[in-house]
Amino acid sequence: MTPETTAAALTLPPFKNDRIFPGLDDPTVRKAFPKAIADVRTKLGKTYPLHINGQDVTTDKVLDSVNPADPDEVVGTICQAGIPEAEQALTAAEKAMLTWRDVEPAERAQYLVKAAALARENLFEYAAWQVLEEGKQWAQAYNDVTEGIDFLEYYAREMIRLGTRRDMGSYTDESNFYFYQPKGVAVVISPWNFPFAIGCGMCAAAIVTGNPVVFKPSSQASVVGHQLVQIFRQVGLPEGVFNYLPGPGSVIGDYLVDSPKVGVIAFTGSMEVGLRIIERAGRTGQDQPSVKKIVCEMGGKNGIILDEEFDEDAAVKDVLYSAFGYQGQKCSACSRLIVVDKVYDHFVPKLVEAAKQLKIGPAEDPQNYMGPVIDQNAQRTISQYINLAQTEGKILYRSETPDKGYYVPLTIAEGFTPESRLAQEEVFGPVLAIMRARDFDQALEWANSTRFALTGAIFSKNQDHLDTAVRQFRVGNLYLNRASVGALVKVQPFGGFKMSGVGTKAGGPDYLLHFMYPRAVTQ
Ligand code: NAP
């Protein structure tokens, strides 16, 4: 083994982000999206098996995944894993570990590059499934798939970088080198709101670093989640390296998290589930060979500050997009708008007027700015928050909604202070709470006044205030004079701290390190 060998076999061109959505007027988009949606409609209603140790596994228990804009339309029926299937998948991954961990990093990276090419080939089709299963608008769905492609391409290159053994120099007549080994079986648990990108990113990171994966997609996004089975099967990943295990988190979640077979858990989802995972995974039983590592990205309560002077047109557009893009169902969505008193009475009515122009309806119609929320539970919870907004503050605008489908009104309300529940709790829907701050200092204090620290933005022409925000607006991703959503892999590593996460930054230069142990050798 010479220090140079490990990852040198594969050279790739430098990483470049895949193209973000070219726009609704783009001729290719205009033609390809309706066709892809129509094609996908001919494939609805199939049954999706689990995928364990390279084999399809069916179960008696199944779950229908429906179109949130029309719950009568069944997008697909998904077999549901129980404890026996969870154990099978963990056993398969554990067995695959014995060989996968020693596959050259460059070879592992090759699988990701091939997977990216396949996803790129199927971009419109994959996005169309999201339009129907998750109620994502064309642009949102397209960018979700390209983000997944970016994760595959970026982590492939990162593994080649990290997989090359590092010469640590010598001391007397001893030479030293440093390299990484995988942590063990990885359980990957993903949310529904970025149904391809987030699951794909976490699985790609685990696989390329040498950890076989048991992937539990969200129950509301398991049809899109199955796209990873198609991709990883087609690129020829060895049996057991990628196992697809849809099933209710309430049934198999704890079992996966508690298993002594597991070395690393990559989770993205709510604070409640994330904290539960962290707590349970921290218990080490006698039969557990190593301490589990938790890669955990959780919720947000993101604020945008509007200072005394800023570009108003840009702010209107970007605040609406941050708050109501994909119905506010993004961890990065703006749910608190903190406006300084001096501009409040001028700006807020302008924002509300602009919001009144936004159309609401099925995401498959590109005229609609906002679509349905994910399911009936979300509809119920968000509606409760809208009622609360009425008692804690004052509703400035509540839109009409279509009769059929899981819609909630686009809602803008004011009159909140940091003590309000609307200023503290993640709503995860199209509800914007506006707060009137005395001045910039109070706006900044309020922006930092939640348990979360995920994203934030400030619109200001005051350079001192922007500089202060860089230091003191304490969030994982801060945006100056732009929307608080839409982070790109590599150039904007994403993730927060406090109750928003453990600071692992998906799509960043340190991410893969969470899946590996460093080792040093001296000779
Ligand atoms: P969730 O309810 O926490 O579910 C996330 C995943 O955890 C799902 O696959 C779920 O399975 C599973 N799960 C449920 N109970 C579990 C348990 N006891 N043990 C293990 N896994 C369990 O979140 P969500 O509604 O899907 O997604 C929305 C949340 O994700 C929001 O809070 C949002 O802010 C956050 N999010 C954060 C980021 C970020 O990067 N920080 C990105 C996207 C979303 P079931 O579906 O079967 O219940």
Ligand 1 mean position to 448 CA, how many Å? 24
Q: Looking at ligand 1, which atom is closest to the CA of residue 216?
A: 9
Residue 2: the pLDDT is 42
The distance of Cα 253 from the centroid of its chain, to the nearest Å, equals 18
User: In the beta sheet, which residues pair with residue 338?
Assistant: 305, 435
- From the CA of 221, give the closest atom in ligand 1: 46
Give the integer Cα–Cα distance in Å for 148 and 120: 10
Ligand 1, atom 17, residue with closest C-alpha: 253
pLDDT at 248 exceeding the cut of 60: yes
Q: How far is the CA of 237 from the centre of ligand 1 (A)?
A: 27
Return the bridge partners of 177, or none: 167, 521
Is residue 208 pLDDT above 90, yes or no?
yes
What's the pTM? Answer: 0.97
Q: Report the pLDDT value the prediction gives residue 230, as an integer from 0 to 100.
A: 98
Going from the C-alpha of 5 to that of each of 53, 369, 379, the distances in angstroms are: 30, 52, 55
Placement of tokens 């930092």 in the chain: 448
Identity at 268, one-letter amino acid code: T
Q: Strand pairing of 213-216 and 185-189?
A: parallel
User: Ligand 1 center to residue 517 CA distance, Å?
Assistant: 27
Task: Confirm if 174 and 250 have CB atoms less than 8 A apart.
Answer: no
| Torsions phi, psi for 357 (to 5 deg) | -85, -10
- Whose tokens are 């699988």? That residue is 111
Looking at ligand 1, which residue's alpha carbon is closest to its atom 40? 297
Which pLDDT value is given to residue 9?
56
pLDDT in tens, 4-19: 444 445 689 999 999 8
pLDDT in tens, 36-51: 999 999 999 999 999 9
